[in-house]
Amino acid sequence: MSGVAAFDFDGTITIRDTIWPFLRAVAGDAAIRRGLPGALPAIAALKLGLADSTTTKERLFAIYLRGRRLDEVRAAAARFAREEVPALVRPEALARIKWHLARGHSVVVVTASPELYVGAWAAPLGVEVVGSRLEVDAESRLTGRHDGPACDGAEKVLRLRTAVGLGDADVYAYGDSIGDRELLAMARHAYWRTMPPPEEV
């Protein structure tokens, strides 16, 4: 039986949410400060349970990414993935990813964060990514919205099945938030906010 390991990214592979550092890497500190009057109410609404994470992210994308050229954002995402993400990765999560790869398992990061930078981080490891996509207009400028549904909740399971065709695969899943609930529920081996020792099957 083949093995498939599905990992959430923010808070599971990483020690913290990566959206804010990514936006700072793209927009720069000065633009981040200018956007705070619009960003802080959106973040507060999320913390108070008055908005969901998808709505909040789209508000932040509209403030900091809308109108930017895709090639500019892609280049910034690659730098962010290369220079900043490694310091945010949990060593035990990276060890577990390598454990799966060494056994010939298909490893997929299934994330609500943008594929642009998560994919740039994962590619050198030989890890596939299915994540949220950012919409662009006819002039290849970001609109500040998601392109299709955000890859969260039940969408994670749908996108994973589409990406790797699970069949009778032995599925492992790793997550840390309510957005991973459906992903964990469909796995034979489900790990919530923990990584087993590298030698554990």
CATH number at residue 50: 3.40.50.1000
Domain membership flag for residue 198: no
Residue 40 located in a structural domain:
yes
Let me know if residue 103 belongs to a domain: yes
Average pLDDT over the chain, rounded to whole?
A: 95
Residue 161 above 70 pLDDT? yes
In this prediction, residues 178-201 reach a mean pLDDT of 88
- Calculate mean pLDDT across residues 128-132: 97
In-domain check, residue 153: yes
Residues facing 191 on adjacent strands:
174
Number of domains observed in the structure of the chain: 1
Q: pLDDT value at position 166?
A: 80
* Residue 138 structural domain: 3-192
The band of 66, judged by pLDDT with boundaries at 50, 70 and 90, is very high
- Beta carbons of 85 and 76 less than 8 angstroms apart: no
Q: Is residue 21 part of a domain?
A: yes
Query: In this model, does residue 1 exceed pLDDT 60?
Result: no
Lowest mean pLDDT among 47-56, 126-135, 137-146, 161-170: 161-170
Cβ(105)–Cβ(35) under 8 Å?
Answer: no
Residue 102 forms part of a structural domain = yes
- Comparing CA positions, the residue from 32, 22, 39 lying closest to residue 116 is 22
Nearest to 76 by CA among 133, 137, 120, 18: 120
Residue 90 forms part of a structural domain:
yes
Letter for the amino acid at 104?
G
Query: pLDDT-derived band of residue 23, with 50, 70 and 90 as boundaries?
Result: very high
**pLDDT band for position 199 (cuts 50, 70, 90):** low
Residue 199 belongs to some domain of the structure: no
Residue 201 CA to residue 197 CA, distance in Å, equals 9
